[in-house]
Amino acid sequence: MIHIYYKAPKSSTPSPRRPGEGGFTLLEMLVVISVVGIMMAISLPIINTTLINMHVASAASSLSGAVQTARYQAISTGCPVQFTTIPASNSYQLATEVVTGSPPACASTYTNVGNPVPFASSDVLVPSVTFLLNPGGTVTSTSVVTAPASFSMHLTNGSTSKTVTVNGVGNVTITTP
């Protein structure tokens, strides 16, 4: 015996929502969007402050590393290295006395080593500082080369700041005032 079943086509009008069915109402979506908006409004100033702190900390760390590298270069070559910060471009420039002659000796004038090297984004303010890193590891002023000197570079961005200090024997420290 053959049975034939007929299934009526589905209606094109949607059926009313029944309890337990998936989906969201417009009101639920508005509540979620409002909560996300409020959370973003609260978190954006915190994120901005964190980014500013990171820019200043990164600039201080880069500057510290550059001074230490220049000091090691002076010790290894046996010739002084002049370290200069350039505030207009947030960069530093190294200059050294070139080793010449036989027996080898340091020249009496400084020659730039490469191009200025950027170490901070444009939103970090950097002072203009110039000092010498000597072959003995000491740090002196460019005007008085006999007495070890201490130099401080105060980096700022708004209310965030770090101080990079190079003492007379070449130790570099970063502090938050």
CA–CA separation, 105 and 125 (whole Å): 38
Give ∠ CA 94-97-100 in degrees, rounded to 5: 140
Residue ranges of alpha helices (H) inside the chain are 26-77
Structural tokens at position 169: 């024997």
Note the pTM of the prediction, 2 decimals: 0.73
Domain boundaries defined on the chain:
35-175
Asked if pLDDT for residue 50 goes beyond 70, the answer is yes
Question: Which tens digit of pLDDT belongs to each residue from 9-48?
Answer: 666 666 565 666 677 888 999 999 999 999 999 999 999 8
CA–CA separation, 25 and 94 (whole Å): 65
Q: What is the mean pLDDT of the chain?
A: 84
Q: Which residues pair with 140 in a beta bridge?
A: 132, 148
As a whole-number percent, the residues of the chain with pLDDT over 90 amount to 21
Question: Which tens digit of pLDDT belongs to each residue from 123-139?
Answer: 888 888 888 898 988 88
User: DSSP states of 38-79 as a string?
Assistant: HHHHHHHHHHHHHHHHHHHHHHHHHHHHHHHHHHHHHHHHSS
CA–CA separation, 150 and 127 (whole Å): 15
CA–CA separation, 45 and 158 (whole Å): 14
Under the phi-then-psi rule, with left for phi > 0, alpha for psi from -120 to 50, and beta for the rest, what region is 18?
A: beta
- Architecture of the domain whose range is 35-175: 3-Layer(bab) Sandwich (3.55)
CA–CA separation, 109 and 47 (whole Å): 48
